[in-house]
Structure 1
């Protein structure tokens, strides 16, 4: 039973990561378009870029954790 629970936890974590990646890219694109149309200064674009990078780094760390957990389950 613990194996299926672990698999379900990893699958859930993978779905969360995929939603974060897709949502981050969509929001980042929308904010860049809206910012350009509204004439916001470049520092806001930099802020949007840094926020997107933070979310993608979080996703990368979680992908690594999922990968390590799967490797541990194999061996």
Structure 2
């Protein structure tokens, strides 16, 4: 079994970061939705959390696509 080179290690670290961002975003979004409901926040404030979650998921999708392209996917 060969050892991964520096480029493969960097891609692995970036993939772990994407996974962490996705999981953290989902937990943050669910917590914000629950907290907003409990505290009676206006819908426009809760919608800001939706937009932040969409931005984070969009970033994760872009980085995942870039990792896939760098690995030689079609």
Verify same fold: TM over 0.5: yes
Aligned residues: CA RMSD:
1.2
Deviation of 1:44 after TM superposition, in Å, equals 1.1
Residues matched between the structures, number: 70
Distance 1:33 1:46 in 2: 13
Point out where structure 2 has 5 or more consecutive residues left out of the alignment: none
Runs of 4+ in 1 over 3 A off after TM superposition: none
* Deviation sequence 1:9-56 (CA, Å, 0-9, x none): 000000000000000000000000001000000001110000000000
Larger proportion of helix: 1
TM-score, scaled to structure 2: 0.91
Point out where structure 1 has 5 or more consecutive residues left out of the alignment: none
